[in-house]
Amino acid sequence: MFSEVVIPTARADVPALVAGDGPVVVCWHGFPDHPASFGPLAERLVAAGRRVVAPFLRGHHPSTADLLPFGDGLTLAADAAALNEALGGPVDVIGHDIGAGVAGRLAALRPDLVRRVVTMSVPPPAALRSIFDEPAQQQRFFYLFLFQVPGVGEALLNDSLIEYLWRTWSPGREVPPHVRDLYADPAVRANSLKLYRANFDRSLHDPELAELGAVSEQPAEVPLLVLAGAEDGCITPDNYAGAATALAPGSRVEIVAGGHFLQLDSPDEVAALALDWFR
């Protein structure tokens, strides 16, 4: 159902999948994933009269593979702000996984460019500070820590790991062919590692954006609808118990049937919640 376009912005040309007509909903994907995974959710949003724009994260498309000198969350949030400006923002935003961090930081940094925001499968940035405190969650994040080791991360990030993550994060779910094809590209795998290594390696942070960090990790001023999968094998629902302290008044946390990839596991429920939130 999607067409691929390139959207010029003040920071870079952004490749994206688009569908439908009407008020825009920007949908940011995560790892290991592809914008096309928003397809079932997009069908429902388009049927409700919305235009879906699903961008590729910087470095996750052949045209941007060499355009990721920094991998920090501020880089991705700045890209999202530039895209919303190019689309005539404020617009509605949905973010999944890494894309949830993009959406949350965008809402904190540029609330003037967002209308309503939905995040899925990762708590908002300000609620992540304690997520590494729990040993069981540290075990679920084994890949994140191994990605930090030069050579080990490169060897680990392969088809077998991607299949394992999909099957355990959304129990039993097969890896879609479009995801396999995307991560067959060594440049995409290298850029994915860069995003994870930037969590600990300050040399991968854009110094021109550094001053924004004091704002980006704080609770956004705009309300967020935060969705968590009841069977998520990556970040379990109990990790959202304290999310209210990192959310603006009027925000909500909803536990949704399904695993980590809620846009595929529960598109009807996610679409209904998102459309109600947007209204």
Per cent of the chain over pLDDT 90 is 89
Q: Report the pLDDT averaged over residues 226-249.
A: 91
For residues 26 and 14, give the distance between their C-alpha atoms in angstroms, rounded to a whole number.
12
220 against 118, higher pLDDT:
118
- pLDDT band at 254, cuts 50/70/90? very high
For residue 235, what are the contacts with CB-CB under 8 A and spacing of at least 6? 121, 122, 123, 131, 137, 140, 228, 260
What pLDDT does 224 receive? Answer: 95
Q: Report the pLDDT averaged over residues 221-243.
A: 93
For residues 95 and 159, give the distance between their C-alpha atoms in angstroms, rounded to a whole number.
24
For residues 97 and 41, give the distance between their C-alpha atoms in angstroms, rounded to a whole number.
15
Q: Report the pLDDT averaged over residues 135-154.
A: 95
Express the helix, strand and coil content of the chain in percent, nearest 5 each.
50, 15, 35
The secondary structure of residue 56, as a DSSP letter, is P
What pLDDT does 241 receive? Answer: 84
Number of Cβ within a 10 Å radius of residue 31: 21
For residues 163 and 200, give the distance between their C-alpha atoms in angstroms, rounded to a whole number.
26
What is the tens place of the pLDDT at every residue in 13-32? 999 999 999 999 999 999 99
Residue whose C-alpha is closest to residue 229's, from 138, 123, 107: 123
- Check: CB of residue 182 under 8 Å from CB of residue 86: no
What is the tens place of the pLDDT at every residue in 56-113? 999 999 999 999 999 999 999 999 999 999 999 899 999 999 999 999 999 999 999 9
Residue 201 has pLDDT above 80, yes or no: yes
Which of these ranges, 3-12, 189-198, 237-246, has the smallest mean pLDDT? Answer: 237-246
- Domains along the chain? 3-278 (3.40.50.1820)
What predicted TM-score, i.e. pTM, was given to this entire model? 0.96
- Check: CB of residue 162 under 8 Å from CB of residue 185: no
For residue 137, what are the contacts with CB-CB under 8 A and spacing of at least 6? 131, 235, 236, 239
What pLDDT does 2 receive? Answer: 95
Chain center to CA of 257: 19
- How high is the mean pLDDT of the chain? 95
